[in-house]
Amino acid sequence: MKLLAWDGSGMVLVTKWLHEGHFTWPPIRDGAVHLSATQLAMLVDGLEWTRVSPKPVKQPAVVG
């Protein structure tokens, strides 16, 4: 796999070879694949990032 990624401050070129298995890619939207930092890390590690869902973050309550 060769991946060119924009992290908000610059481009990153990633090369990764799997000896077994395959990469599970997200759908292409508007000509690009959009991944969070966590999803990219899991993809590069060869993990099933599609089975992990983010935990909801509670918004702080207004103190008055």
pLDDT value, residue 64 = 67
7-53: per-residue pLDDT in tens? Answer: 789 888 888 787 777 777 788 888 888 888 788 888 878 788 777 77
Total domains, the chain: 1
64 in any annotated domain = no
Look up the domain containing 29 and give its range: 2-51
25 in any annotated domain = yes
Q: Report residue 5's pLDDT band, with 50, 70 and 90 as the boundaries.
A: confident
Q: Spell out a b/e string for 27-61, using b for 16 or more CB atoms within 10 Å of the CB, else e.
A: eeeeeeeebeeebbebbbebeebeeeeeeeeeeee
27 in any annotated domain = yes
Please check the confidence at residue 54 and state whether its pLDDT lies above 70.
Answer: yes
20 in any annotated domain = yes
